[in-house]
Amino acid sequence: MQATARHPVSRDNEYWSSKAGNTRIMRKSTGKILSSTVRTLFLVCATLFASGTATAQESEMVAESEGSQVESSLGVDWTTKYFFRGIVQETEGLILQPWVDFVFPLSEGQDVSFSFNIGLWNSLHDGPSGSGGAGMTMHYELDAYAGMGVSFLENWSGSLSYVVLSSPNSAFGTVKELDISLSFDDSDLFGSGSGRFHGVQPSVLIVWELDGQSDGGSEEGNYLEVGFEPSFDLIQDEKQPLSISFPIAGGFSLSNYFEGVAGEDDSFGFARGGVSLSTPLNFVNARLGSWTLSGGVSMLYLGDNLELINGGEKSEVILTLGIGIGL
């Protein structure tokens, strides 16, 4: 379940790049019709897209005159397998993950700026954990988050977010958590502000489970994730640039986050590495927002407890493809 004030909380495939209720391990349940929350999400997405199409030019004029505006984005990702912080969720069938995110600037200073972030993230499955299960709908997961973001000392940024991870089709119990993230934009250290290389982009995520457990254990746990994402411009072209990045992350239990069947905790959860490509879709009319196409492949290596949850499979190869729209 993805969440930092993601972009996402954009959640990545192991997150946010977190989940599973009183047991986040997939299990059968009686199905439910699409909840009012889901209908609300679709309505928000449709309204957001329509308003962005109709008022893009007006928003730009407001931004120029007032100096700030609400930043909104939405998108949908496809993935071959869905692991949440290394915990298996689905490995079969179609997996689509639509999301919508809003950032509200609160104050902008020379040394520090604050913002408020809210959003929704979903995972829709037609495999055993979704509509492929007996009496279940495809809406496996709905995550809602809200938080405060801060930028300081030019290159540092952080966030404090409250996240609710829920399952509309009752595949797992609701998990509530508090997330803290910190990241550093190190591109200037390499003298590459306008060059091809954009640094290694280190980041840290710490999670406190307040209610429910993503690992299906007996105790709420604490989680640590450390990540890097070296990136550079593969093609520098005004009409169709192409960037490449190499996301690397490791997930660890600070306490009771990756519990085994006997309640023992495994401090090492997973390691992940891969390659990702992204390019703006400049042929799309600017009135429809700023569109970006991205895709990649990653290798996931699991610790002992997560290997057991994953049916004895120690490693997985995961493909992803997504479209994001900034309005």
Which CATH number is 227's domain given?
2.40.160.40
Backbone φ and ψ of 187, nearest 5°: -60, -35
Q: Does any domain span residue 4?
A: no
Query: Which segments within 60-201 are labelled E, that is strand?
Result: 71-79, 82-84, 87-90, 95-108, 112-125, 139-152, 156-166, 175-184
For residue 122, which of 94, 98, 92 has the smallest C-alpha distance? 98
Answer yes or no: is 14 within a domain. no
Q: How far is CA 27 from the centre of its chain?
A: 23
- In this structure, is residue 8 part of a structural domain? no
Instruction: Name residue, tokens 């309005």.
Output: 327
Task: Please state the pTM of the whole predicted model.
Answer: 0.81
CA dist., res. 190 & res. 8, Å (int): 26
The dihedrals phi and psi of 189, each to the nearest 5 degrees, come to -65, -20
Domain that holds residue 128: 36-326
Q: Is 55 within the bounds of a domain?
A: yes
pLDDT value at residue 235: 92
Is residue 46 within 8 Å of residue 52, measured between CB atoms? no
**pLDDT reported for residue 196:** 86
**Alpha carbon distance 90, 125 (integer Å):** 8
Number of neighbours of residue 100 by Cβ within 10 angstroms? 20
How confident is the model at residue 195, as a pLDDT? 67
Q: Would 29 be classed as within a structural domain?
A: no
Q: How many domains does the chain have?
A: 1
Q: What is the DSSP letter of 284?
A: S
Instruction: Report yes or no on 79 lying in a domain.
Output: yes
The verdict on residue 319 lying in a domain is yes
Q: What is the pLDDT of residue 110?
A: 84
pLDDT tens digit at each of 327 positions of the chain: 333 232 333 344 443 333 333 334 433 333 333 344 444 444 444 444 444 444 344 444 444 444 458 999 999 999 999 999 999 999 999 999 999 999 999 998 888 999 999 999 999 999 999 999 998 999 999 999 999 999 999 899 999 999 999 999 999 999 999 999 999 999 988 875 556 899 999 999 999 999 999 988 889 999 999 999 999 999 988 889 999 999 999 999 999 999 988 889 999 999 999 999 999 999 999 999 999 999 999 999 999 999 999 999 999 999 999 999 999
The Cβ of residue 1 has, within 10 Å, a number of other Cβ atoms equal to 30
Q: Would 5 be classed as within a structural domain?
A: no
User: How many Cα atoms occupy the beta-carbon half-sphere of 187 within 13 Å?
Assistant: 15
